[in-house]
Structure 1
């Protein structure tokens, strides 16, 4: 198994916590055989898998331009400053939202989405696997625009909020930061 495929698989499992085996692609059998993943209906990382993932992420960061990664992350934070309150407000008011409110939320999210796509492209230039986040966010946005607003914030699927959170985690790590240091600085979200 190659390191890139192993990293993508282990990071997916880490970000999601537990993943249905049918949802996974990549060297699942190899990682199970190597003791990196627990083979169960809901796959999760083993302790050895966590250690291996830390190694793979460190190797990835070692070849990335640190200043460029920080610039991408800072650009992301600007857009995150609009997405975070929009999603939070939607979660508080969705049950009482009428058609006008739904349209307003989707229109604003579409504007923010257009702003983040170039940021994702820049991240993808640094680390190719990050470029897939644009397609995942597109898919969630279109499902919501198609009338299923659960694709905005529904946990356990690739809802906009879920994918956004995963992208945020990826960019924090790529920039060599942690969620704890981001919370201390007020940048986390």
Structure 2
């Protein structure tokens, strides 16, 4: 597995992450990240911006090369079949997030109704369990995705602990953020454009 690919892709998704955020997104320990990041910085593929790092134009070009090489190793016929299965779960997840954000599809959820939130958290747990076998198949198809089960489980645990931010808040590794990144990974692995997915109504 290419650790360069893990880190460059995480930097692409996160924009300007701290190194700790980058390590979490790449599924690496902080101590292991340094051995990957320093050569990428030296090669001009990552750049430091204060306490953060960002992907450079050279890094983006290298990332595209690495992604293309990975895509060539994936069983595309099986991926397409499993992606259709993902689409069904994704529809349910999108509805769950809508229900989390809006009560009766109209009133913003201020999270003062504990019973309402609890019901949605139960639904999220059920969806998480339902999705786990399919996610395992995606990891088998592309082992680089191995960090996603742990990231989704970590976000779910925080939601269950009573912090509503970890279901759908952007800019943190909320369940929705990690789900969105996973969906981007699947789109990329299949060589499909997000515009096409949005047109088909399958994007978040």
Q: TM-score, normalized by length of structure 2?
A: 0.87
How much does 1:38 deviate?
1.3
- 1:46-80 residue CA offsets vs partner (Å, 9 max, x unmatched): 01111111100000000111111112221111111
Matched, 1:67 2:77: yes
- Distance in 1, matches of 2:22 and 2:13, equals 13
Among 89, 94, 107, the alignment partner of 2:99 is 89
Among 38, 49, 57, the alignment partner of 1:29 is 38
The answer for unaligned runs of 5 or more in structure 1 is none
How much does 1:88 deviate?
2.2
Match of 1:35, SS state, is coil
Among 115, 131, 149, the alignment partner of 2:146 is 131
- 1:118-147 residue CA offsets vs partner (Å, 9 max, x unmatched): 111001001112122111111111111111
CA contact (8 A) 1:120 1:131 kept: no
Aligned to 2:10: 12
Matched, 1:145 2:160: yes
How much does 1:153 deviate?
1.4
The number of residue pairs the alignment matches comes to: 187
Report the more deviating stretch, 71-80 or 6-15: 71-80
How much does 1:94 deviate?
2.6
Aligned to 2:123: 108
Alignment of 1:29-68 (within 5 A): 29-40=38-49, 41-68=51-78
Match of 1:44, SS state, is strand
- Distance in 2, matches of 1:57 and 1:46, equals 16
Report the more deviating stretch, 107-116 or 4-13: 107-116
Matched, 1:156 2:154: no
- Distance in 2, matches of 1:156 and 1:188, equals 18
The structure with the greater share of residues assigned to helix is 1
CA contact (8 A) 1:21 1:43 kept: yes
Superposition CA RMSD, Å = 1.4
- Distance in 2, matches of 1:17 and 1:88, equals 25
How much does 1:97 deviate?
4.3
- Distance in 1, matches of 2:202 and 2:117, equals 28
The answer for unaligned runs of 5 or more in structure 2 is 24-32, 103-107
Runs of at least 4 residues off by over 3 Å: none
